[in-house]
Amino acid sequence: MAEAAGVSEEEIKERMKRYVDEFRGLLKPDAALILVATDLGVSIQETPTERPESVLQIASLFPGMSRVKLRGRITRMHGVIEFTRRDGAPGERAEFRLADETGVVLVVVWSKDLIEMIRSGEVREGDVVEISGGRVRPRGNMLTVHLDSRSTVRRLEGEFPELPVEDVEPLSVAEITEDLAGQEVDVRGVLSSASAPREFERKDGRPGMIASAVLADEKVDEDIRLVMWDYKSRLLEDVPLGSVVEVRSVRVAVRDESIELHSTPRTDVRVIQPGEGGRTAQEVEGNVIYVFEPSETFSRAGRRTVVDFVLATPDGPVLARAWGARAEEVLSIRLPARVRLVNHFWTIRDGDRVLNVGDYGRIEVLAEGEGRVPESAARIAHSLKYKRTWLELTEGEGFREVRGTVLGVSDPVRILWYCPECGSRVAKEYGIFQCPNCGEIAEAVPRPIFHLTIDDGTGVARVIFIGRKAEELLGKTVQDMLEEIEQQGYEEDSYPADELAKRLVGREVVARGRLRYQEDTGLIKLFAESMDFADPKSEVRLLLSEIERMRGSMSAG
């Protein structure tokens, strides 16, 4: 680690000692070493015990897998890519596409030795290679395999006629940008709405047909309008809403600062996974028993409110998501409420089905505020949205729940500023705000941010609180903090977190949010949506249910 960071071993030991002293014995030396590695921007991993690894097929991969071994042909070599980390430091990685008989996957290389191997041309496009020690992660609508310092790439000699030489992968909706204007692309997404074909008269008097649809991204909160012309307007007529489709050979068009996809004479549609939504008046009824806190997303359609909620149906409780105006309607409902959702569709999130109602759907409130919300509503809601996991990432990334001991609180709390129009973080100099997208802006939105360091016995993670979540835990609004900073003469946009540390360090907590693994540093981050102190009774119930599940799987085996 000293060699990778360019510092002496004595300095690393001194930094570890400072962390151990700071946490008053609560931090073990190995955990202190991880924190020092994070500070220095290097990744350290224990060398795993050697064990035979079988070669997997690309089609069998799923997010969260580790120590993966694959064999395939490099069908596209993207080479070494330079980038800038969030802290402004330069970094580089290498990427290539690997194909076998079952599919294609993007390989992302973080190891310095492997990057040099690619830079020097030891591994080239068209080579057949065997990679081992990979970690599987999602990126948009496809999977990626990440290689770090523990991974290897070995070039194989031979012809291997069974392996494809070329591949063409569709883009996700989120990957369609203005830079692609005029290009013909293949796009994969979820059919969230579609209109019936209608006739119109062109300017020259000739008749035409047109139909429009909306494709939603499978992973992130993005969608795009799809316009189908003439005989292509009938391609989506029999496709159910919620279907995952691949629309091939469509042209990217930019109109009035919005991006659209337009059909060409070569356009066709392939249904990857049929949806469960009808084309009109698809309905489901149930009781809304829990509503999560809303969030805002910034997409091509502008700023939108999104809210998750739990709908109790005759077939059991389901996790649902409302978008835009439908989200505002859900937030105004008095619980419990009996509702009918019209024109909804289903998507897959972290392997589970989620019911969606958006701009083209409708929420009919049949009754509200009558009766009592079940006492178990919050527990049911959390179990549906957040899977409990250990920090060794046995359940992979995504919406997760983690229990651990608080080792420390970042100090001070930082106040960051964001653009009210596009949501980007802005630079602040001498009271002037500069947005990277909108230029100089008159006002910006302040949001506090800090993190907790927690340890669950299998790993260490940063639990990051930002905006309203940070305010709730601190017990102060951001305006209160800014005023106190000015009154007390604290460093600009920095608020002390010592009182929070006194309350939390050493406590057992359950944190929920979106879990991410940062490949280049080996850091695990959880962007918190809620946190509670651990309840022994609840933890015992979870352990008992886990024991029963293991017994059941052993009996089945």
Q: Other CB atoms closer than 10 Å to residue 43's CB: what's the count?
A: 21
> What is the rounded distance in angstroms from the CA atom of residue 143 to the CA atom of residue 106?
7
Q: Does domain 387-541 have CATH number 1.10.10.10?
A: no
At CA 523, angle to CA 517 and CA 525, rounded to 5? Answer: 60
Q: By C-alpha distance, which of 78, 76, 63 is closest to 135?
A: 63
Residue 342: what pLDDT? Answer: 85
Domain boundaries, the chain: 2-40, 58-156, 171-273, 283-384, 387-541
**Position with higher pLDDT, 142 vs 66:** 66
CATH number (3.40.50.2300, 2.40.50.140, 3.30.70.1230, 3.40.50.300) of 283-384 reads 2.40.50.140
> What is the rounded distance in angstroms from the CA atom of residue 331 to the CA atom of residue 349?
22
> What is the rounded distance in angstroms from the CA atom of residue 332 to the CA atom of residue 327?
9
Residue 281: what pLDDT? Answer: 47
Residue 554: what pLDDT? Answer: 47
Three-class SS state of 333: coil
Please give the torsion angle defined by the CA atoms of residues 80, 84, 86 and 87, in that order, rounded to the nearest 10 degrees.
Answer: 120
- Considering the chain, what percentage of its residues have pLDDT values greater than 90? 43
pLDDT digits (tens, 9 = 90+) for 362-408: 899 999 998 899 888 998 999 999 988 888 866 677 889 999 999 99
Max distance between CA atoms of the chain, in angstroms, equals 83
> What is the rounded distance in angstroms from the CA atom of residue 115 to the CA atom of residue 83?
14
> What's domain 58-156's superfamily in CATH?
Nucleic acid-binding proteins (2.40.50.140)
**Position with higher pLDDT, 481 vs 420:** 481
pLDDT digits (tens, 9 = 90+) for 46-68: 444 444 568 999 999 888 888 89
pLDDT digits (tens, 9 = 90+) for 413-439: 999 999 888 778 899 888 889 988 788
Q: Does domain 171-273 have CATH number 2.40.50.140?
A: yes
Residue 48 is classified by DSSP as P
Mean pLDDT of 37-48: 63
User: Identical fold at 58-156 and 283-384?
Assistant: yes
